[in-house]
Structure 1
Amino acid sequence: MIFGSDFVNKGIPVVIIFTLAQFINSITGGVGFTLIMTGKQKIEFYNSIGLFFVNFTLNLILIPSLGCMGAAIATATSVIFSNILRLMQVYIFYKMQPYGINYLKTIVPAIMATVLLLLTQKVNLLPIGQLMLNVFIVLGIFLIYTRFTGVDEDEQYIWNLIKQKFAFRLGA
C-alpha cells in the first residue's frame, strides 16, 4: 500500500511471479556453481546462453500482449527452466541431487503458512496489523511443526552457534 493502489493491482502479481522463480532458483541449490566447480564450465556457459535466448524470445512474445506481467512470466519461466535443466545435468553427470526427507520440514509448513496467509488476506486490518498477523502465522506454524517433528543434528548445531553468538554479545 506504500506505493499506491496501482502497484497493488498491477505490481503484486508480478512480484509474486518473480518470487516463485526465485524460490525455485534457491531450492535447486548451487547447481550452476556445481557444474562450474567440477569442470563443466562450458556446459554452464551454454546453459546461460540458452537462458538468455529463451528469456529474450519469451519477452518478445509476451510483453506486447501482457505488458509487465508478460515480462514476469517470461523471466520466471526462463529461470525455472534453466535451474531444472541444471539440476538434471548435475544428476546425470554426478548422480547427485540436493533433496532429502528433511526438505519436508521446510516445504510442509511453508505450504501450510501460504494457505493460511492467503485465507487471512481478506481480513480488514491496518497494514501494520496485517503484517503482525502474517508474522505470527508464519512463525507459529514453523514453531508448531518443528515441535512435532523435532530438531535434527544440523539444526541443533546452528541453534547452538546462534546462542553462543548472542551469549558472547550479552557478556554471559
Structure 2
Amino acid sequence: MAMVRRTKEEAQITRSQILEAAEQAFYERGVARTTLADIATLAGVTRGAIYWHFNNKADLVQAMLDSLQEPLDEMAQASQSEDEEDPLGCMRNLLIHLFHELALDPKTRRINEILFHKCEFTDEMCDFRRQRQDNAIQCHDRITLGLSNAVRQGQLPQELDTGR
C-alpha cells in the first residue's frame, strides 16, 4: 500500500513538473513554437512521461487553465444559487478575487498571458478553441443566472433584462 501511495505521489510530482515546464516554455515561445520535446527537456522527463499525463499540447494548456478555473468555479456557484441572499455580493467577491490574483500572483498572470496572447489557434489547438468557446458561453449563462438571482432578491430592478 505504501508503494502505491508513493507511486501516486511521484506521478503527481512529475505531472506538476511537466505543467511548470509547459508554462515556462509556452510563456517564452508561445504554444505553437513549443514542442513536447522542449517541455520534456525543461521538466527533466521523457516525452513518454508527458504522454502518460497529457494527450497533447492542447491538453497541457487545458490543464493550466483548469488550475486557474477550479477555485473560481466554486465562488461562482454561490451567486447562481436561488437560496443566496446576496448574489451581487458573491459576484463582486469573485471579481475582486480574480483581479487580486491577476495583480499579485505571477503564475496567474503568466497563464492568462499565455491564454490570451501566446496561444495560437492552429489545427492541433482546434479542440481547445472549441472548449474555450463553450466556456465563454457557460460564463455568460452563469452571469445571467447570477443577475437574475440579484433581480429576484431585489438587488437589481425587476425590469432589468438579464438575457442580453
- For Structure 1 versus Structure 2, the TM-score category normalised by the shorter chain is under 0.3
Which structure has more relative contact order (CA 8 Å, sep 6+)? It is 2
Greater share of residues in helix: 1
Q: Work out which of the two has the higher radius of gyration on C-alpha atoms and give 1 or 2.
A: 1
Q: TM-score, normalised by structure 1?
A: 0.25
Q: TM-score, normalised by structure 2?
A: 0.26
